[in-house]
Amino acid sequence: MDTARTKEVNTTPLPALDFENVCLSFGGLRAIKNVSLRVGQRELVGLIGPNGAGKTTMFNLTTGVYTPDEGRICLKGEAISGRAPHEINRRGIARTFQNIRLWGELSVLDNVRAALLHTCDTPLLQIVLRTHHSEANEARVRERARELLAYFDLIRFEDDKARNLPYGEQRRLEIARALATDPSLLLLDEPVAGMNTGEKIKLMDLIRKLQHDQHIAVLLIEHDMKVVMGICERIAVLDYGEKIAEGKPEDIQKNPRVIEAYLGTSHA
């Protein structure tokens, strides 16, 4: 699939995501304690940790749902903390959600079309009059949407309502929709949750392929260790809002702090 995006390769490339000493509290609860994390422009990084560790909160911080109390979040060198979510998306960060949040009443095709809004600048009057310019934009959007659906093997569902899709297809649609926004960084929140082994393998292969084809960075939250160890180049581990380890999969697997966080007796 053609991406039409060129990447300059600098000698010191800017990281896609730079989480610098970020802190976040909810009232008295310190949810994220001084977490720093970098994701390179073409890296596939995993984010793991026990439930409640703060992984989705990190996603929410990155996409602008929350603003850090301290620290900075940068996308390719530009600070984005404090901006509105839709602005952050326009700058190049897209995500999927832990609980699938598709636009149920819209068709599969329309879910992707809506996400392609950023490519469609038609003024209202032209939309209403259905001018040549407007119709051309619409055709382009539909074509691109179909391209994405085809990549995710969803074309045969294109006219079905998103809420009627089978579970696995819904998850894929969410990723397709996120990709439609043309991100440099893709955040996937438990993309294979609830799938059987066969589906998981297929999706993980697809993610790997997609990351390679699209030249994007991917940050992945997952609980399935086989999956995480299988495709991530690097893994960061969160526990109680702190990053307790970071490194290659094989190192993380042997890291005693990580093992304790998942199985340890200190969490009574």
By DSSP bridging, strand 217-221 and strand 185-189 are parallel
**Contact call for residue 171 and another protein (CB under 8 A):** no
Among 175, 178, 188, 219, binds another protein (CB under 8 A): 178
Q: How far apart are CA 53 and CA 59, in angstroms?
A: 12
**Contact call for residue 104 and another protein (CB under 8 A):** yes
Residues of this chain, 231-250, that bind another protein according to CB under 8 A = none
Among 25, 34, 36, 122, binds another protein (CB under 8 A): 122
**Contact call for residue 5 and another protein (CB under 8 A):** no
Nearer to another protein among residue 130 and residue 215 (C-beta): 130
Residue among 228, 197, 196, 171 nearest 49 (CA): 228
Look at the block and give the residue holding tokens 């259905």.
Answer: 130
**Contact call for residue 56 and another protein (CB under 8 A):** yes
Nearer to another protein among residue 27 and residue 198 (C-beta): 27
Which H or E run contains 74? strand 70-75
**Contact call for residue 193 and another protein (CB under 8 A):** no
By DSSP bridging, strand 17-26 and strand 29-39 are antiparallel
Residue among 212, 235, 233 nearest 222 (CA): 235
How many residues bind another protein (CB under 8 A)? The answer is: 47
Nearer to another protein among residue 108 and residue 261 (C-beta): 108
CA of 124: how far to CAs of 46, 90, 131, 144, 181, in Å?
42, 21, 11, 22, 21
Among 86, 215, 226, 248, binds another protein (CB under 8 A): 86
Q: How far apart are CA 190 and CA 194, in angstroms?
A: 9
**Contact call for residue 170 and another protein (CB under 8 A):** no
**Contact call for residue 262 and another protein (CB under 8 A):** no
Least separation in angstroms between residue 267's CB and another protein is 22
* DSSP string over 23-62: EEEETTEEEEEEEEEEE-TT-EEEEE-STTSSHHHHHHHH
**Contact call for residue 139 and another protein (CB under 8 A):** no
**Contact call for residue 131 and another protein (CB under 8 A):** yes
Question: 259: helix, coil or strand?
Answer: helix
**Contact call for residue 76 and another protein (CB under 8 A):** no
**Contact call for residue 117 and another protein (CB under 8 A):** yes
Among 41, 137, 184, 214, binds another protein (CB under 8 A): 137
Residue among 103, 78, 82, 72 nearest 92 (CA): 78
HSE value, Cβ hemisphere, 13 Å, CA-based, for 12? 1
**Binding stretches for another protein (CB under 8 A):** 26, 56, 60, 63, 65, 84-86, 89-90, 94-95, 97, 101-106, 110-111, 113-118, 120, 122, 124, 126-135, 137-138, 141, 177-178, 180-181
